[in-house]
Structure 1
Amino acid sequence: MSQLVEYERRGAVAHLTLNAPGSLNALSDAMLAALKGRLEALAEESAVKAVVLKGAGKAFCAGHDLKEMQAARTAEDGGAGYFADLFARCSEVMQLIPALPQPVIAEVHGIATAAGCQLVASCDMAVAAEGTRFGVNGVNIGLFCSTPMVALTRNVPRKVAFEMLTTGEFIEAARAREVGLVNRVVPAAELSAEAARLAETVAAKLSVAVKIGKRAFYEQLPLTLAEAYDHTAAVMVENMLHRDTNEGICAFIEKRKPDWA
C-alpha cells in the first residue's frame, strides 16, 4: 500500500514525495499529518544531511483540499473550529521546515498553488522545472491566501507578493527565479537530477556547520542589524570551537582533505 508521503534515502539525502497525484497532492488533513510525521522524524535522523521534497504525478502541490474544507461547513459552527484547527496545523507543518537541522530543497513541477506555493516558499531552497507555474490564487475563489502570504512575503519583494495575492495571477518558473522564489530552473527532464545534485552538494559539507548555520540564518532575520551581528558573532564562536571545524581549517592550511569524524 502506498503512503501519502513516501520516504527514500539515497546516501545522506532523504527524498520525500507527496503521493496523492489524484488530488494534485492537496494538503488534506491526512497529507498534513503524514508530512508532519515525516518532518518530525527527519529532525532525529543525524545521518540525513539534506532533504528533497517533491510531488508525485502532474503537480507539486495544489494547496488545501477544498472539498474537505467545504464539508466542514455542516458543523454547528459553520466550520469555524475546523478551519481554525486546519490553518494552525498547516502553519505548524510549514514552520517545521526551517526548524529542521537539514536544508530542505523543494523539487517543483507542474503547479504550486496557494498552500502549495506556501510550501515551496517555506523550503530553504527550490529547483523548478521549466513551465512550472506558481500562484497564491485563493482570491479567485474569494479566499485571500493570508497564511501562504507569510512565507511568500519572506521570499519575494513586497510589491511582487501583493500583486500575486490580489490578482490571483500565476507566475512562470523563470519569473519565480527572478523574484527569488526558486533558486534554479531547469528542463523538466533534468529536474530530479538537478535537485539531487544540489542536495548532495549541501550534504557533502560539514553537517554540524550547516546545522549551526541554518539555525542562525533564521534566528538573525528578525533582528536589528546590531543584534544580528552580536548574535551571529556568538554563533561563529560556537562553530569555531567545534573539533571538526578546527580540523577543516588545519586541513585547508596544510593542503589536505579534512579528517572529519
Structure 2
Amino acid sequence: MADQSVQRVHKYSENGITTLTLNQPERRNSLSMAMLEALSSELEAIATDSETRVVVLAAHGSVFCAGHDLREIREQLDSHEFQLALFNQCSKVMQQIVNLPRPVIARVAGVATAAGCQLVASCDLAIAAESARFATPGVNIGLFCSTPMVALSRNVSRKHAMEMLLTGEMISAPQAERMGLVNRAVEEQVLDETVYALARTIAGKSGHTLKIGKEAFYRQLEMPLAEAYDYTSRVMADNLMADDAHEGICAFLDKREPEWNDR
C-alpha cells in the first residue's frame, strides 16, 4: 500500500483524469525517501491503469514542493549509501514521469524549488498560478542542484538554466512561462479551470496515439536530425496500422466525431 504522503484522487473520472496530490504540507511536500517511494508506487500503478488517460500532479498547501527533505538528509549526512539511494530514487521517479504512457500535467500553486522544480520540469506540461515561484537554490547551501539540472536543462535554454543554477534566485511564474519551464501562468482563481480544461482536451484523444506520440517525442529529442527523421518515419508508418488511426482518418473525412478504441 502506498504511503499516504501521496494521495491518489480520481476526478472527472468519466474523462479518464487522475490527480496525484502531494499531501505533506507540514513538510512543504518535500521529497523524502517515503514521499518518493509513494509517488513511484502510484506512477507504477497508473502505468497499467487503462482507465487513466491523463495525470494531473498537484499539491496541498502553500508550497508545491520544496525539494528534498533537508532534515532527513542531515540525519543521514555521514551515509553516502543513503544519499546515493535517495538521489537514485528521485531520478527513478522523474524518469517514470517521462516514461509514463500517459501525459502528465503539473498544477503548480506556491513554491517549487530544487527537486520540486525538477518535478515540474519533468512533467510533460505545466500550468502555474501567477503567484507561483521557482528556483534551483542548492548553490546557496553548498549543494549544487545537479540532478534538477538534468530536467531543467532539457526544458529551458542553456543560458536560462545556468542562471537559475548559478544564482539560486527565485523566478516568477510569468518568467517561468517566458523561459518555457511552464506552459502558462494564470490567475490563481482560474488555475483549476485551466488545468482541467487542458486535461479534458487531451483525454478526448486516442490513448494509444498519445502513448505512441509521447514516447516518440522524448526518444527523438536525443537523436541526430537524420536519425530522428528515420525513427519518426517508422513510428508514423506503424501508427497508421493502428485501429484508431483508421478510425480517426475516416471520421475526419466523413465529418463526424471519432470513436476511439485505444488500439
What does residue 154 of structure 1 align with?
154
Corresponding residue pairs, total: 256
Shift of 1:259: 2.9
Per the alignment, in what secondary structure is the counterpart of residue 63 of structure 2? Answer: coil
Partner of 1:57: 61
Deviation (angstroms), 1:131: 1.4
Structure 1: distance between partners of 2:40 and 2:110:
23
Provide structure 1 residue ranges, at least 5 long, that are not aligned to the other structure: none
Measured against aligned partners, the alpha-carbon deviations of 1:1-46 in whole angstroms (never above 9, x if no partner) come to: x921111112200000000000110001110010000000000001
Q: Any unmatched runs of 5+ in structure 2?
A: none
Does residue 221 in structure 1 map to residue 225 in structure 2?
Answer: no
> So what's the TM-score if we normalise by structure 1?
0.96
1:76-116 deviations in Å (ceiling 9; x for gaps): xx221111111111101110001000000000011000000
Corresponding residue of 2:34 = 30
CA distance, structure 1, for counterparts of residue 74 and residue 79 of structure 2: 8
Provide the rounded CA distance (Å) in 2 between the counterparts of 1:7 and 1:119.
Answer: 17
The offset of 1:179, in angstroms, is 0.6
Q: CA deviation at 1:196?
A: 1.1
Deviation at 1:243, TM superposition (A): 1.1
- After the TM superposition, which residues 234-253 of structure 1 pair with which residues of structure 2 at under 5 Å, given as runs? 234-253=234-253
Does residue 179 of structure 2 align to residue 175 of structure 1?
no
Tell me the residue number matched to 1:70.
74
CA distance in 1, matches of 2:259, 2:161: 45
2:24 to 3, 20, 25: 20
2:252 partner amino acid:
F
Q: Which residue of 2 aligns with 1:184?
A: 184
Q: Distance in 1 between matches of 2:209 and 2:159?
A: 35
Measure, in 1, the Cα distance between the counterparts of 2:257 and 2:23. Answer: 40
Q: 1:122 matched to which residue of 2?
A: 122
Q: Percent identity?
A: 54
2:144 paired residue number:
144
Number of the residue aligned with 1:4 = 5
For residues 122-155 of structure 1, the C-alpha deviation after alignment (integer angstroms, 9 at most, x for no partner) is 0000000011110000111111000000000000
| Structure 1 Cα separation of the partners of residues 187 and 67 of structure 2 | 24
CA distance in 2: counterparts of 1:181 and 1:135, whole angstroms: 11
In structure 1, C-alpha distance between the alignment counterparts of 2:79 and 2:260, rounded to whole Å: 54
- Amino acid in the other structure paired with 2:85: D
Task: Give the whole-Å Cα distance in 1 for the aligned partners of 2:234 and 2:123.
Answer: 26
SS at match of 1:60: strand
Determine the structure 2 residue equivalent to 1:258.
258
Aligned residues: CA RMSD: 1.0
Q: Any runs of at least 4 consecutive aligned residues in structure 1 with deviations exceeding 3 A, and if so which?
A: none
Q: Give a deviation string over 1:163-210, Cα, whole Å, max 9, x none.
A: 110111111000100010000111111112211111111010111111
Partner Cα separation in structure 2 for residue 250 and residue 170 of structure 1: 50
Q: String of CA shifts for 1:42-79, please: whole Å, max 9, x gaps.
A: 00001110000011011110000000000002xxxx22
Counterpart Cα distance in 2 of 1:227 and 1:195: 35
CA distance in 2, matches of 1:80, 1:259: 53
